[in-house]
Amino acid sequence: MSVLDYYNTDRRSNLKSITISTGSAVYKISYDEILYIEALNKKINIYTDKQRISCYNSLSALSNELGESFLRCHNSYIINKQKVKSVHLPEQYIEMENGSRISISRTYKIEVKKLLQ
């Protein structure tokens, strides 16, 4: 193992991550990789820079596990605060770094306003 491999392995182990089981595979996803999470048709879709991972879980459980780096902005969405490109309150959506538009519901609008402060 080279010094660079050792450094990268050590650095990755210190990052917070979430483990997702999809039935046939288990993924360890770093919080830094997650753009947003969507609940759709009883499934959870986790969108990263490179892929979409689908599993069965609840947004409430994931929201509790992810902590303050993430924000629930809709009954169907959790976003990574660090990956927000812009917030459009009058149009009620958040634009993410990858160009995705995530809806803001009236229920969570106050929480989103706090993100801007």
- Domain residue ranges of the chain, discontinuous segments joined by +: 3-82
pLDDT attached to residue 14 = 58
Tell whether the model's pLDDT for residue 99 goes beyond 60: yes
Q: What is the pLDDT of residues 9-67, one digit of tens each?
A: 444 445 799 999 988 899 999 999 999 999 998 899 999 989 999 999 999 999 999 98
Fold assignment, 3-82: OB fold (Dihydrolipoamide Acetyltransferase, E2P) (2.40.50)
* Tally of CA atoms within 13 A in the half-sphere of 95 that contains its CB: 6
Residues 6+ apart with CB under 8 A from 113: 89
* Averaged pLDDT, 100-111: 95
Is 50 exceeded by the pLDDT of residue 6? no
* pLDDT digit string, tens, across residues 68-98: 999 999 999 999 999 999 999 999 999 999 9
pTM to 2 decimal places: 0.83
pLDDT, tens only, 35-47: 999 999 889 999 9
Q: Going by C-beta distance under 8 Å and a sequence separation of 6 or more, which residues neighbour residue 77?
A: 36, 37, 38, 39, 59, 102, 103
Q: What confidence score (pLDDT) does residue 117 get?
A: 77
